[in-house]
Structure 1
Amino acid sequence: MKKEILTLAFARAVFVEFLSTLIFVFIGLGSALKWPSALPSILQIALAFGLAIGTLVQAFGHISGAHINPAVTIAFFVGNQISLLRTLLYVLAQLVGAIAGAGILYGVTPANTRGNLAINAINTNVTPGQALVVEIILTFQLAACIFASTDNRRSGVGSPALSIGLSVTVGHLVGIYFTGCSMNPARSFGPAVVTRRFSSAHWVFWVGPILGACLASLLYFYILVPYCMNMSDRVAIIKGTYESEEEWEEQREERKKSMELTPP
């Protein structure tokens, strides 16, 4: 892991996950607040969450991948796409960012509007088991969209920011009625910490998204579109020491140029 953690790019990526999750939670929860003058519509909330994700993916995707979601980060690890260290620090940054975003929103919102700060809650007519299935399915489609949209082995994928944003939007259009729509443990965790309201079914908003995203990862990366890699390369990815052929060639060219510029 030494090679990965010592790079400035890695530190920037972790910070970006914190920042982007902060912004996402602030915007998403803010759109769902019940102001006395007007109540938010389902479409308004769905578009706010979807457009926020699309904007942040476009802005920060090239720096960290813009996961903005512990379930997505864990799923990328399960798919052998990122290291264990990156997974742990990304998830930590996302959770802290979610708490910060919810905290800022709480601080700037009038007391008569805060309510429960749009925490996720299961519909009274829905059982925890039913809610779990809903969260699994909604997060499965989101994760599958992310994997396919960001797969560098594909050509002509269009705009990942647009497709991922639409996936989040459609998830909210369906899921809000059931659970308030989580698809993201950080989105559920942040406001719960700030308001100190953890329901007995809070586990649904962790288990459902993580399980759904990991199922999508196993299906996409190991069955539908598997990577042909040997075991040593897979272990190197987990450790954070893996070098692709493209990276190795770039470093070789840089070393070659350095030798040519060095006077005898």
Structure 2
Amino acid sequence: MKCRLTTTPFPDLLQAALLEFVGTAFFLTLGLGGIQAAACLREEPPALNIEQTIYIATCMGFSLLVSAWMFYRVTGALFNPNISLALLIVGVIDPARFIMYCIAQLLGAIAASGIVVGLSNAPLAVNTVLTDTTYAKGVFIEMFITAALVLAVLMLAAEKHEATPFAPIGIGLTLFAAHLWAVPYTGAAMNVARSFGPAVVTGFPDSGHWVYWVGEFLGSLLGAGFYAVLKHYKYWRINPGQDTSDYKQSPPDPVEKAKESLNKALSNSPEGSGRTRVSPSMV
């Protein structure tokens, strides 16, 4: 039985990969550029205060929000091999697109790192390194924040609903929130390409680079696995109609509901037959 890696014509697949490269480079140039600026503005290089953490989180979160919204209808705006892996697992993309996208995303990260260091007067300072944590904790931190990003992409973008056109907002805010937690410990990669690009440009200065491959890989599995469980048990039946914009699905008038309950109580009581029913004009 012949196995086909894709149903997309190769020229279209190549074009999509090229545009994914451009989108990834755009996203990471803005994001890593902000991190480089934060490093250059830091008064004491070893220190990382709250303001700089928020600055970094804002740069990365807003960069993803803007870039994803721009490229959302072009390539899907994945920009991340770990998101690509999750989409492959759940069947959104095929193996050929996964391979082409991963290559494009890794090359895009290298290009973005080169652009940032080329336009800066200081050495590249955007590598993700473990700080005040162990390898094991670093792996689990990266796993959890990557899983959060994967789940945000799957539930907001891959799942089609009323809020799908606004998925980049939720995905960007997820990246922002995860950075607030993980920047002081791991640098909050959430994306193996984001770690790989600067490492290539700077010659892999950190021996813990493997953490960002293992942690992100596990995060892809965790996020995709949880999404698969939600789909298998038909999560939409738990709270039906939650994503509708039909005003008729809004809660009923609380005053009318209270009057109906009161009238029902009066009619069921032994003395109810002689009592006056509550009408709208009496309220």
> Aligned letter for 2:229?
I
Q: Tell me the residue number matched to 1:242.
A: none
- Once the two structures are superposed, the pairs formed by residues 112-191 of structure 1 within 5 Å of their partners are 113-114=122-123, 116-123=124-131, 125-157=132-164, 159-191=166-198
Partner Cα separation in structure 1 for residue 6 and residue 166 of structure 2: 34
Partner Cα separation in structure 1 for residue 229 and residue 164 of structure 2: 20
Q: Quote how far apart the aligned CAs of 1:38 are.
A: 6.2
Q: Which protein has the bigger helix share?
A: 1
User: Are the equivalent residues in 2 in contact too, given 1:32–1:45 (CA < 8 A)?
Assistant: yes
Q: Tell me the residue number matched to 1:11.
A: 14
1:30 maps to 2:33: yes
> Aligned letter for 2:10?
L
**Residues 203, 5 of structure 1: alpha-carbon distance in 2 compared, 3 angstrom cutoff:** farther
Match of 1:225 among 231, 246, 250: 231
Q: Tell me the residue number matched to 1:251.
A: none
> Aligned letter for 2:93?
I
User: Are the equivalent residues in 1 in contact too, given 2:156–2:170 (CA < 8 A)?
Assistant: yes
Q: Quote how far apart the aligned CAs of 1:215 are.
A: 1.3
Once the two structures are superposed, residues 171-209 of structure 1 have per-residue CA deviations (whole angstroms, 9 ceiling, x without a partner) of 111110111110000000001000102422101111111
Q: Quote how far apart the aligned CAs of 1:154 are.
A: 2.9
| TM-score with structure 2 setting the length | 0.73
| TM-score with structure 1 setting the length | 0.78
Unaligned runs of 5+ in 1: 229-264
> Aligned letter for 1:81?
V
Match of 1:212 among 219, 235, 243: 219
> Aligned letter for 1:223?
V
SS state at 1:65 partner = coil
Partner Cα separation in structure 1 for residue 111 and residue 139 of structure 2: 27
CA-atom RMSD in angstroms:
2.0
Q: How many residues align?
A: 222
Q: Tell me the residue number matched to 1:72.
A: 83
**Residues 2, 153 of structure 1: alpha-carbon distance in 2 compared, 3 angstrom cutoff:** closer
User: Are the equivalent residues in 2 in contact too, given 1:79–1:217 (CA < 8 A)?
Assistant: yes
Q: Rg: which structure is higher?
A: 2
**Residues 197, 7 of structure 1: alpha-carbon distance in 2 compared, 3 angstrom cutoff:** closer
Identity %: 30
**Residues 159, 194 of structure 1: alpha-carbon distance in 2 compared, 3 angstrom cutoff:** same
